[in-house]
């Protein structure tokens, strides 16, 4: 089983408005992410929300995702991710051999083929347990983790997140070269949004 976790509790400070609700290619940013995951056959999908973006729950659910609305704004993405992992654990009881995708909510150019390539790499490389797409040698999003690494994330020092885990477990990491430069896309500022408006979205 491959689960997907989308931490969507950010304040969109640099964008100046809720970026996950911005229109792009006939969908919202968040709906683009969900559509790519669904096209790749990923299920279940969980979107973790906080009060400032609670209105995203309805469109997320309409797109086939589960939602977890936290009662308070989290201190950082690590806290949002951990809350989502607890929710998935309680609802679906993943096993050690299962895996999960950590998917940035602000990654609307997510390509379903990239997701499929990560899942396929996991199947043929049982000696690895962290899978990261790369384009021309640069690492991008999303990242696929074996479920066993949930315990490692919980054991990280305060203030450290998934990137720290990746640095601590280089022997478990497999870089997966892909043909999509969009794994490198960020959506943080109005300039980023204007650039994405000129990018065809699947």
Q: What is the pLDDT of residues 84-103, one digit of tens each?
A: 999 999 999 999 889 999 99
Q: Identify which has the larger pLDDT, 11 or 104.
A: 104
Q: How far apart are CA 1 and CA 100, in angstroms?
A: 8
CATH, range 2-197? 3.90.550.10
pLDDT tens string 145-187: 999 999 998 998 888 888 899 999 999 999 999 999 989 888 8
Q: How far apart are CA 115 and CA 39, in angstroms?
A: 9
Q: How many CA atoms lie within 13 A of 201 on its CB side?
A: 24
Residue 190: CB partners within 8 Å, gap ≥ 6? 15, 16
Q: How far apart are CA 172 and CA 148, in angstroms?
A: 12
Q: Identify which has the larger pLDDT, 49 or 190.
A: 49
- Report the pLDDT averaged over residues 32-36: 92
The pLDDT value given to residue 75: 74
User: pLDDT grade, residue 201 (50/70/90)?
Assistant: low
Q: Is it the case that residue 199 has pLDDT exceeding 80? A: no
User: pLDDT grade, residue 120 (50/70/90)?
Assistant: very high
The pLDDT value given to residue 167: 92
The pLDDT value given to residue 193: 77
Q: What is the largest CA-CA distance in the chain?
A: 43
pLDDT tens string 36-66: 999 999 999 999 998 878 888 988 898 889 9
Q: How far apart are CA 130 and CA 110, in angstroms?
A: 18
The pLDDT value given to residue 200: 58
Polymer length in residues for the chain: 202
β-strand partners of 45:
4
The pLDDT value given to residue 202: 53
**Euclidean distance between the first and final Cα of the chain, in Å?**
25
Q: Is it the case that residue 198 has pLDDT exceeding 90? A: no
Q: Is it the case that residue 116 has pLDDT exceeding 90? A: yes
Which residue blocks in 93-160 are alpha helix, DSSP H?
A: 112-124, 149-155
The reported pTM is 0.88
Element (H, E) at 58: helix 57-62
Locus of tokens 């683009």: 32
Domain boundaries, the chain: 2-197
55: left (phi over 0), alpha (psi -120 to 50) or beta: alpha
- Weakest-pLDDT range from 114-118, 179-183, 188-192: 188-192
């Amino acid at each position: 089983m491959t689960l997907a976790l989308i931490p969507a509790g950010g304040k969109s400070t640099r964008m100046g408005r809720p970026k996950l609700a911005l229109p792009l290619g006939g969908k919202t940013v968040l709906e683009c992410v969900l559509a790519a995951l669904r096209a790749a056959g990923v299920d279940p999908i969980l979107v973790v929300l906080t009060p400032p973006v609670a209105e995203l729950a309805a469109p997320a659910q309409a797109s086939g995702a589960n939602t977890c609305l936290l009662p308070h704004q989290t201190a950082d993405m690590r806290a949002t991710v951990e809350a989502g992992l607890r929710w998935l654990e309680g609802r679906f009881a993943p096993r050690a051999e299962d895996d999960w995708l950590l998917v940035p909510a602000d990654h609307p150019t997510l390509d379903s083929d990239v997701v499929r390539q990560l899942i396929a790499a996991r199947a043929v490389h049982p000696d690895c347990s962290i899978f990261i797409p790369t384009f021309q040698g640069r690492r991008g999003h999303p990242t696929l983790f074996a479920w066993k690494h949930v315990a490692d994330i919980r054991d990280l020092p305060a203030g450290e997140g998934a990137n720290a885990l990746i640095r601590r477990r280089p022997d478990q990491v497999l870089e997966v070269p892909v043909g999509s430069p969009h794994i490198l896309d960020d959506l943080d500022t109005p300039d980023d949004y204007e650039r994405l408006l000129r990018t065809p979205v699947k």
